[in-house]
Structure 1
Amino acid sequence: MGRVRVVGVGMVPFVTPSKSGSYDAMAAAAVRKALTDAGLDLEQVQQAYAGFVYGDSTSGQRALYGVGMTGIPVVNVNNNCSTGSSALWLAAQAVGSGSVDCALAFGFEQMERGALAMKWSDRPSPFVDFMEVAQKRNGPSEAPFAAQLFGGAGAAYMEEHGTSPETFAMISVKARKHAGNNPYAVFRAPTTVEEVLASPRIFGPLTRLQCCPPTCGAAAAVIASEDFARRHGLKGDVAIAAQAMTTDQPDTFEDPKNLVGFSMAQRAADEVYEKAGVDPRDLRVVELHDCFTANELLSYEALRLTAPGTAEKFIRDGDNTYGGRVVTNPSGGLLSKGHPLGATGLAQCAELTWQLRGEAGARQVDDVRLALQHNIGLGGAAVVTLYQKVG
């Protein structure tokens, strides 16, 4: 994987559904930006992987045809909230294996207003077993299913470690503060712990301002081999040092935190650290999957950024932000930047590429040589990617 380069990235500003353009227009704009950033034409791309969750089956083709119809393979990818990173994983695999020299990964989502819901009532839901375990522990609820799962995991962590509600709220405050420097983010106005806690209760420790909003947007990345980048004079200084995708194992249903991907993420992160020979203490910047404040807190420990049971201290000591040990979600994360499902993983890739290039503006983290990306989808898949500045 060390020979795989991210040579171009692009995204459009994320927006709420009421302000969204059509998915194909957003995706085409993000792809054009990534190609321009790379200094390539679409004709030089040999394969494309299109990520989206809500859309008809060949929406990827519709979106890419707005940029050009070159006849290359276009693979449509759906892996719930890890869809964008799954498309990236496939593109990196294609390049890393030598099957192609240059591949495109792009993701987009044109979401509806309101919380995520299960779309199909006439067939088995992939979340049946998850909800059965969650409701056996927490009881039935009218709350959105994702909030029940993540809120239940947060409540279980609180019970075990005595974590205060204020600690969870501090994550939302930090997300808004970071997003204030990101022109691509939806929610850039600051908030306070008091405002977060006073917002309507959703489930467990979660209030409305601790839940990511439905968002529309698109992002893209051009992936190339080291040799291709060199031959074409491309920016080849951001390498994918290691990458792993994991799915559920039986332990998913044995612990509330595993219902929301803790064990999947931990196994993926451990695999990445081992492949790259990197200690998580070497990381200075991480984009992680903060769909709810509870999941950001859990992810600190899943990714081994802090020891088991110490996430509250990690937050209260300011070790998760500028001036601390590792800046988490400098983009504002899903909580404030927004979470258009198919685009999220590729927006994370764009942010970390800019960080490694030193192009993140007011969000720039000092001395970035390594950057970690964490993206999960319930049901389930976890993708962890380690980027490295080379040259």
Structure 2
Amino acid sequence: MQAQARIQREETTMTTGKSYSRRAFLGTAAAGAGLLAAPATLRAQGVNLRLHHFNSPLSIAHTEFLVPWAERLAEATDGELQIEVFPAMQLGGKPGDLYGQAKDGIVDMIWTIPGYTANRFTLTEVFELPFVAKSATKTAPAVHEFAKRNMGEEYGDTHPILFHTHAPGQLHTKGTAIRTLDDMAGLQLRGPSRPITEAIGTMGATPVGMPVPAVTEAISRGVVDGAALPWTITRPIRLHEVTDYHTVLDFYAVVFGMVMNKSRWESLPADMQQAINDASSEEFVRELGELWDGDEAQGRQMAIDAGNEIIEVSDSERERFREACQPVIDNWIETVNERGMDGQALYEEALSLIEAQSA
């Protein structure tokens, strides 16, 4: 199975014509598991897990994160823990079903966007609020730490493994340039998450929800005027071919999470649990952030090469956008307060964790 994953990885690289560095993902902590004794029968049989996710087999999430992560665990456990990675919903269902698949034991592990499960992961959304996230390198480890401190109950029916984010998202439009907040009026824009869909409305545009694979055609046919996306997503969907303008706001991120079926986790030998923890450390999550940040440049360059205009919003105008989004933050704080927690304190904690990574 390990060899099969490597073959798939090589085929993907050949198909895309691009190879990413694997140093950060195979070299950081593979030797740190410190294997403990376990029953000889388990050692003889080994453990095989299935990890399901929604992203393409050509995506960096699959080729540069999930498959190498599985290989790393096989290496750390001398081949006794094997994780087979299934991309693109190959085991059935829709992306919104993934969390439930892990909870119910349909699969052993999943990697997903928690926001796909509507109205379930309110605390997770704090890092998806407008103008909270910084670079993925700074924000991803902050999310991971915040989850350990505060989100145990939110994910209490599974075993959380790690959380991270992509690089900050921008606005990409056809026909209309967004240079100021006033330019948002009358536009229909695709939003990526509940908080940012709400923010698009408070900034003056009409929010439209749709999955990423539908965005390029929707813009081409005039169904929407544009979309909020990070550069790393614009490249594979070739968004530069149907848009004219790209407004750099760095105004949001989406949280990704990996969780495991709770009973399956508890059944693992202690050394395998430790190996998974070691392979999913804060340092590793920071490296995931570096991976996502590093994948931004190509998407931006493809837009430049297509003759599209990159619009850098001034600090003063960006503050106008931020002020327009304040009701979204206030609504989140109020929702958290209604659930018996201190929303303002949790919001400020999220900001401080990102700031600590910046320092």
- Report the TM-score, using the length of structure 1 for normalisation: 0.26
More helix by share: 2
- Bigger relative contact order, structure 1 or 2, given CA contacts below 8 A and separation 6+? 1
- Report the TM-score, using the length of structure 2 for normalisation: 0.28
Structure number with greater Rg is 2
